[in-house]
Amino acid sequence: MKRDIIDYSYIIIGSAITALGIVLFLNPAMLAPGGVSGIATILFHTLGLDLGLTILVLTIPIFLIGAKLFGKQYGVKTLLGSVLLSVFTSIWASVFGDAGLLDYSKDISIWLSALYGGVITGLGMGLVMKSGSNTGGTDIIAQIIARYTSLSLGTALFIVDGVIIAVSAIFFSIENALYAIVVAYITTVVVNKIVLSMGTNYAKTVFIISEKTDEIGEYIINTLERGATILDAKGFYTKESRPMIMTVIPNQDISKLTRAVHQSDPKAFLIIHEAFHVLGEGYTPIEKIASSSDVTQH
């Protein structure tokens, strides 16, 4: 119960902060650094569509497609994050208006919007992801592309957001698109800091040494719906043999696994490090890139 309260608090606060960055800085400056909010920004300035409502209308169908393809990993928390981003965007727009805080007749204002917009939205998205959720949108599209092509998730997300930024260059300006790239970079850095993912990879390799191996293994397989392997390990000092779990977990599930392990065995020992490329069931299909150069590039 306590953990759920914390998680949902992260989602609510993170969605509010993300929406604040969009309303105060990104949308007024006509910066569309990818994502559903980027598409909504383009539609707002070209067709006059309501920003918050557009985010909701675009996000829900994408969420439903993701839920159909990937199952319960897109549960209540992801849906909540998607809806709250739309709701808070509408709330902040009604409070602060559409003009933002800065005077865009000054050249420095767009730089400030890129900087503070990137930091604030990154902080909000990081808090949402720290709960094991997300705000939906193009990350789901990227996961679909990664599943059915030979592209990695990071590459797919880069392409999807890159297309949105390129479209914004057509409707706004090349300068605005370049500023949007700066926003995307700052947002990524801040998100990674918040969720303790110190890179652009999408999964972690986890080694777990515990007295509750069976209980932890059941959680990994039944709750996280991921595979796990038991390795034989021996302590150098004690010379005692004990099993060790090895598993590969998506970044958004690392905090869930850590909490579950701690609840099962507070004395457990975990080693978590980057998995630069994960091939096989549940990740990138190995048969699609076994002969490609993409394997060596990672």
Query: Which tens digits make up the pLDDT trace of 59-70?
Result: 888 888 877 776
Among candidates 137, 167, 179, 151, which has minimal Cα distance to 28? 179
Confidence of residue 192 (pLDDT cuts 50, 70, 90): confident
Q: Which two tokens stand for residue 275?
A: 């998995």
Q: Assess contact for 157 and 138: CB atoms under 8 A.
A: yes
Map tokens 């059941």 to a residue: 218
User: What's the start-to-end Cα distance of the chain, in Å?
Assistant: 40
CATH 3.30.70.120 domain residues, the chain:
203-275
Q: Which two tokens stand for residue 163?
A: 């297309």
Confidence of residue 211 (pLDDT cuts 50, 70, 90): confident
203-275 architecture in CATH? Answer: 2-Layer Sandwich (3.30)
pTM above 0.85, yes or no: no
Q: Which two tokens stand for residue 161?
A: 């957001």
CA distance 85 to 75: 16
pLDDT, one tens digit per residue, over 247-292 is: 988 776 787 888 889 888 888 888 888 665 566 665 555 554 444 4
Amino acid letter, residue 66? G
- Torsion from C-alpha of 210, 212, 214, 219, nearest 10 degrees: -90
Phi/psi zone of residue 239: left (φ > 0), alpha (ψ -120 to 50 degrees), beta? left
Q: Which two tokens stand for residue 3?
A: 């953990």
Is beta strand 241-250 parallel, antiparallel or unpaired with respect to 269-274?
unpaired
CA distance 255 to 208: 14
pLDDT, one tens digit per residue, over 163-188 is: 999 999 999 999 999 999 999 889 88
Q: Which two tokens stand for residue 145?
A: 């592309």
Confidence of residue 152 (pLDDT cuts 50, 70, 90): low
Say what the pLDDT of residue 200 is.
37
Map tokens 């719906």 to a residue: 225
Task: Compute φ and ψ for 208, nearest 5 degrees.
Answer: -130, 125
Q: Which two tokens stand for residue 85?
A: 């981003």
Give the mean pLDDT of 122-130.
84
Map tokens 């193009």 to a residue: 138
Q: Assess contact for 66 and 144: CB atoms under 8 A.
A: yes
Give the mean pLDDT of 1-26.
88
Among candidates 94, 97, 154, 183, which has minimal Cα distance to 297? 154
Say what the pLDDT of residue 284 is.
55
CA distance 64 to 16: 23
Q: Assess contact for 261 and 208: CB atoms under 8 A.
A: yes
Give the mean pLDDT of 204-233.
87
